[in-house]
Amino acid sequence: MTSFAAKVFGRVERLCQHLPVALNTFLVFSITGEVSYLVLVEAPLEADQKKTVWSSWWKMVHLLAQYFMLGNICWNALLFLKTSPSIRGVFLGGDGLGQGWRYCYTCETHTPPRCSHCYDCKVCVLRRDHHCVFFGQCVGFRNYRYFLSCLLFMWSGLLYATLMNAEVFIVILKEGVTVHSVLLLLIPWIMLVSGQVSARAFAFAFIADTCVVGFLLVSAFFFFHLFLLFRGQTTREWYSSRRPYSLGLLGNLRHTLGIRWYLCWLSPLIPSPVPGDGIHFEVTGSLEPSR
């Protein structure tokens, strides 16, 4: 009985770990689909413009922009999940041992100063920033570029979607700020269940609300991590107000995003290797080679 309960608990735990990823995927594609509908069907608003050449070019540009952002979000997220941030495969012994090193009794190995054990991932993570509950994986030295790029395109995509959904808010509030319109914006689920609105009105209101709330949350995450990137800090180091590993603005960009830091934002397919001393710096805290 105990073995059966353990198996059930293990399956439920694995399901809960993948649930945030599935929910985020559903929301991203739902927002993209709704914005595509707004572009193709609802816009432009003027009837005499709907069949003009300008309208066709306008729609094409909007569709290209939004699917460029969607592609970057999905590809960066996939690479983030596939890139292990753990210390597996990193040589941590020899002359690198020094001040600030600790011994992890769980992993049974010495770990450098910026490395810490994650009890969710069950492994030590090199330059661990935090465990991202939305992806179910730690953010560390190896996958930070993909995490930050994904945040960038999520932020720009949600900004774009919020602006495109401005017309939805205008339509809802067209007859004034009434109790019905306010409740539709604040609690669309209850309005749908109670039969006060149609499924179509609910879908538009729910996605418009999701765009605004998501934009505010992602803005906070993105600009906070941009601030940490410029300062050469991790979230853990920010809590303690320490900056012992800052290499200056340009050095921090190169060390985190690679030598092509100015191009890697455009696509995860653009190679941007970290300078050869990157791993050495994370392990030893020094850019000087070991002797």
Residues known to be catalytic? 132
Handedness of CA 179, 180, 182, 187 (dihedral sign): positive
Q: Which residues pair with 111 in a beta bridge?
A: 102
3-state helix, strand, coil in the chain (%, to 5): 60, 5, 35
Closest residue by Cα to residue 23 from 210, 184, 225, 150: 210
263 three-state secondary structure: coil
Closest residue by Cα to residue 284 from 111, 143, 88: 111
Single-letter amino acid, residue 279 = I
Q: Confirm if 205 and 168 have CB atoms less than 8 A apart.
A: yes
Residue matched to tokens 């290797």: 273
- d(CA 145, CA 99) in angstroms, rounded, equals 28
- d(CA 159, CA 17) in angstroms, rounded, equals 28
73 to 9, 39, 65, 84, 145: CA distances (angstroms): 32, 20, 12, 18, 12
88 three-state secondary structure: coil
- d(CA 236, CA 268) in angstroms, rounded, equals 26
